C-alpha cells in the first residue's frame, strides 16, 4: 500500500516537486518550485498541507540556502501560515547543522527518521483500537492512515474509516477518502454534520485525528472541527485519539489561530458571478487534554 500523500514534496535535481492536493481527486499532478516565491505561493494557496508543508520548508531551506537562512525562511513561512510552528523546524535544522553536517544531510536524516517514527506510532495506536474498529477521522493525516490500516491488518483486526468531508477545503473528501479508496481500504464518506447522529447510533466506536501543534500538557491545535468531534466523543463515551508531534511547554491559548480569507468558504460557488458574501473561517481550533483519551507523540531529537 502506498499514498503519494506520505511524501507529497520531493527534491529532484535542484527542483522541488509538490503534489498538488487541490486538484484531487480529479487530477494527480505535481507543481515545480524553482524559486522561493513559488514555494511561498504554494503554501499560501494550500497546495500542500500538514506533512507537505513540513517537507516544503525543509527542502526550501536546502534549495535556497544561499539566499535565505533557515531562521528567516521560518519567519516567511510563518507569516503565511501563522498557526504552524515553522520556527521549531528552523531550530531543528540549526541543531543538526551545528553537529557538522550539511543542510542536505540534516534534511535527509530527519525525513528518514520521521518515516520510521510515523510507522511506529501507527503500530502503537493500532494496539489500542478495538478488534473491529469503526474509525472516524477529520481532515488528512498525510498518508498515516494507510500505515494504521496495515498495522491493524497485521494484528488481525478489522477496520473501516468514516471520513468527514471537512469543509471548506474538503480535505477529508479529496485527500483522505481518495487515498483510502485508492488502496482499497474500507471507507465511507460522511458530511460533517452527520457525526453526532452516527455516534448516537453507536456506528462509530473511536476517533483518530492529527495535530498541527501540541503541548506537553496534552492540549492540541488541529483543523477546525476537531474540537467539536472531541466534545461529541466525550459526551457519547467514545475514545478520542490524537497523533501529534513535537509537544512544547507553551500556553496553547496564546497561539495565533490562522484566519483564512472569507471567499474560501464559498469555493463551491465558483463561477456563479461576483456576488459579495460574508463569512468567518478560523482554520484551526484548540482541543484541551480533558477531551483527549490518549496522544501518540513524535518528539524532536
CB 172 within 8 A of CB 165: yes
Gyration radius of the chain over CA positions: 19
Instruction: Answer yes or no: 212 catalytic.
Output: yes
Q: Write the DSSP string, the chain.
A: ---GGGS-EEEETTEEEEE-TTSTTT---EEEE-SHHHHHHHHHTTSS-THHHHHHHHHHHHHTTTT--HHHHHHHHHHHSTTS-HHHHHHHHHHHHTTT--HHHHHHHHHHHHHHHHHHHHHHHHHHS-SEEEEEE-S--TTHHHHHHHHHHHTT-EEEEEEE--TTTTHIIIIIIHHHHHTT--EEEE-GGGHHHHHHTT---EEEE--SEEBTTS-EEEETTHHHHHHHHHHHT--EEEEEE--BSS-GGGSPPPB--GGGGGGGGTTS---------B-EEEE-GGG-SEEEEE---
CB 207 within 8 A of CB 234: no
Q: Which residue is catalytic, options 128, 212, 219, 251?
A: 212
Chain-centre distance for alpha carbon 255: 18
Q: What is the rounded distance in angstroms from the CA atom of residue 183 to the CA atom of residue 188?
A: 14
In order of 75, 85, 261, the CA distances from 79 in angstroms are: 6, 11, 14
> Looking at the annotation, which residues are catalytic?
212
Amino acid at each position: 500500500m502506498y499514498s503519494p500523500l506520505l511524501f507529497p514534496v520531493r527534491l529532484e535535481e535542484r527542483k522541488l516537486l509538490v503534489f498538488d492536493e487541490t486538484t484531487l481527486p480529479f487530477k494527480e499532478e505535481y507543481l515545480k518550485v524553482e524559486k522561493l516565491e513559488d514555494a511561498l505561493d504554494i503554501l499560501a494557496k494550500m497546495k500542500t498541507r500538514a506533512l507537505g508543508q513540513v517537507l516544503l520548508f525543509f527542502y526550501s531551506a536546502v534549495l535556497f540556502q544561499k539566499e535565505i537562512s533557515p531562521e528567516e525562511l521560518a519567519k516567511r513561512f510563518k507569516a503565511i501560515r501563522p498557526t504552524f510552528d515553522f520556527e521549531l523546524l528552523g531550530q531543528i535544522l540549526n541543531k543538526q547543522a551545528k553537529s557538522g553536517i550539511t543542510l542536505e544531510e540534516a534534511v535527509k536524516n530527519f525525513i528518514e527518521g520521521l518515516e520510521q517514527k510515523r510507522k511506529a506510532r501507527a503500530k502503537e495506536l493500532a494496539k489500542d483500537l478495538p478488534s473491529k474498529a469503526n474509525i472516524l477521522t477529520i481532515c488528512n493525516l498525510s498518508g498515516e492512515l494507510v500505515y494504521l490500516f496495515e498495522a491493524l491488518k497485521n494484528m488481525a483486526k478489522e477496520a473501516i474509516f468514516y471520513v468527514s468531508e471537512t469543509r471548506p477545503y474538503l480535505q477529508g473528501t479529496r485527500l483522505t477518502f481518495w487515498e483510502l479508496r485508492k488502496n482499497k481500504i474500507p471507507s465511507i464518506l460522511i458530511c460533517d454534520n452527520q457525526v453526532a447522529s452516527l455516534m448516537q447510533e453507536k456506528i462509530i466506536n473511536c476517533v483518530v485525528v492529527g495535530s498541527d501543534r501540541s503541548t506537553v500538557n496534552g492540549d492540541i491545535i488541529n483543523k477546525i472541527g476537531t474540537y467539536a468531534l472531541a466534545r461529541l466523543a466525550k459526551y457519547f463515551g467514545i475514545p478520542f485519539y490524537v497523533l501529534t508531534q513535537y509537544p512544547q511547554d507553551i500556553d496553547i491559548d496564546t497561539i495565533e489561530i490562522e484566519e483564512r480569507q472569507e471567499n474560501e468558504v464559498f469555493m463551491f460557488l465558483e463561477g456563479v458571478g461576483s456576488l459579495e458574501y460574508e463569512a468567518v473561517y478560523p482554520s484551526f481550533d484548540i482541543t484541551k487534554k480533558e477531551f483527549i483519551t490518549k496522544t501518540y507523540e513524535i518528539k524532536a531529537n
